[in-house]
Amino acid sequence: MKNYFKEIKNIEDEQERLIKEYKKAEILFYKADNIFDKEELRLNMIDIQSKIDNLKFEKGQVMECLENMINQGIMI
Protein backbone atom coordinates (compact mmCIF):
# COMPACT_ATOMS: atom_id res chain seq x y z
CA MET A 1 0.00 0.00 0.00
CA LYS A 2 2.85 2.37 0.84
CA ASN A 3 4.19 1.74 -2.64
CA TYR A 4 1.04 3.30 -4.12
CA PHE A 5 1.50 6.45 -2.04
CA LYS A 6 5.17 6.56 -2.97
CA GLU A 7 4.25 6.15 -6.63
CA ILE A 8 1.73 9.00 -6.40
CA LYS A 9 4.37 11.23 -4.79
CA ASN A 10 6.89 10.35 -7.52
CA ILE A 11 4.33 11.14 -10.22
CA GLU A 12 3.48 14.48 -8.60
CA ASP A 13 7.18 15.38 -8.31
CA GLU A 14 7.76 14.52 -11.97
CA GLN A 15 4.69 16.53 -13.01
CA GLU A 16 5.98 19.53 -11.08
CA ARG A 17 9.40 19.23 -12.73
CA LEU A 18 7.85 18.99 -16.19
CA ILE A 19 5.59 21.98 -15.58
CA LYS A 20 8.63 24.08 -14.65
CA GLU A 21 10.42 22.84 -17.75
CA TYR A 22 7.37 23.70 -19.87
CA LYS A 23 7.22 27.24 -18.47
CA LYS A 24 10.92 27.77 -19.25
CA ALA A 25 10.40 26.54 -22.81
CA GLU A 26 7.37 28.81 -23.17
CA ILE A 27 9.38 31.86 -22.09
CA LEU A 28 12.17 30.96 -24.51
CA PHE A 29 9.58 30.45 -27.26
CA TYR A 30 8.22 33.97 -26.90
CA LYS A 31 11.72 35.47 -26.70
CA ALA A 32 13.06 33.57 -29.72
CA ASP A 33 13.57 35.57 -32.91
CA ASN A 34 14.46 32.72 -35.24
CA ILE A 35 11.52 30.77 -36.71
CA PHE A 36 13.51 27.53 -36.53
CA ASP A 37 14.19 28.03 -32.82
CA LYS A 38 10.50 28.73 -32.26
CA GLU A 39 9.54 25.55 -34.09
CA GLU A 40 11.99 23.46 -32.06
CA LEU A 41 10.73 24.98 -28.81
CA ARG A 42 7.11 24.46 -29.87
CA LEU A 43 7.80 20.78 -30.53
CA ASN A 44 9.56 20.52 -27.18
CA MET A 45 6.54 22.08 -25.46
CA ILE A 46 4.21 19.60 -27.17
CA ASP A 47 6.43 16.72 -26.02
CA ILE A 48 6.47 18.00 -22.44
CA GLN A 49 2.68 18.45 -22.45
CA SER A 50 2.30 14.89 -23.70
CA LYS A 51 4.46 13.62 -20.83
CA ILE A 52 2.40 15.63 -18.33
CA ASP A 53 -0.83 14.17 -19.76
CA ASN A 54 0.60 10.64 -19.51
CA LEU A 55 1.53 11.23 -15.87
CA LYS A 56 -1.99 12.49 -15.12
CA PHE A 57 -3.38 9.29 -16.63
CA GLU A 58 -0.89 7.15 -14.71
CA LYS A 59 -1.78 8.92 -11.46
CA GLY A 60 -5.46 8.29 -12.17
CA GLN A 61 -4.74 4.58 -12.60
CA VAL A 62 -2.85 4.41 -9.30
CA MET A 63 -5.63 6.32 -7.53
CA GLU A 64 -8.20 3.92 -8.98
CA CYS A 65 -6.20 0.92 -7.68
CA LEU A 66 -6.03 2.50 -4.23
CA GLU A 67 -9.76 3.22 -4.26
CA ASN A 68 -10.52 -0.37 -5.27
CA MET A 69 -8.32 -1.71 -2.48
CA ILE A 70 -10.03 0.53 0.07
CA ASN A 71 -13.48 -0.46 -1.20
CA GLN A 72 -12.53 -4.13 -0.88
CA GLY A 73 -11.51 -3.57 2.71
CA ILE A 74 -7.79 -4.05 2.29
CA MET A 75 -6.10 -2.18 5.11
CA ILE A 76 -3.62 0.57 4.42
Residue 1: its pLDDT value, please? 62
Would residue 73 be called left, alpha or beta, if left means φ above 0 and alpha means ψ between -120 and 50 degrees?
left
5-46 pLDDT per residue, tens: 899 999 999 999 999 999 999 999 999 999 999 999 999 999
**Domain range holding 42?**
2-71
State the CATH number of the domain containing residue 23: 1.20.58
Gap between the Cα atoms of 6 and 12, Å rounded:
10
The count of domains in the chain is 1
Residue 72: its pLDDT value, please? 84
Cβ neighbours of 10 (radius 10 Å): 14
pTM exceeds 0.95: no
Look at residue 76 and tell me if it is in a domain.
Answer: no
Longest dimension (CA), the chain: 59
Residue 24: its pLDDT value, please? 96
Gap between the Cα atoms of 60 and 63, Å rounded:
5
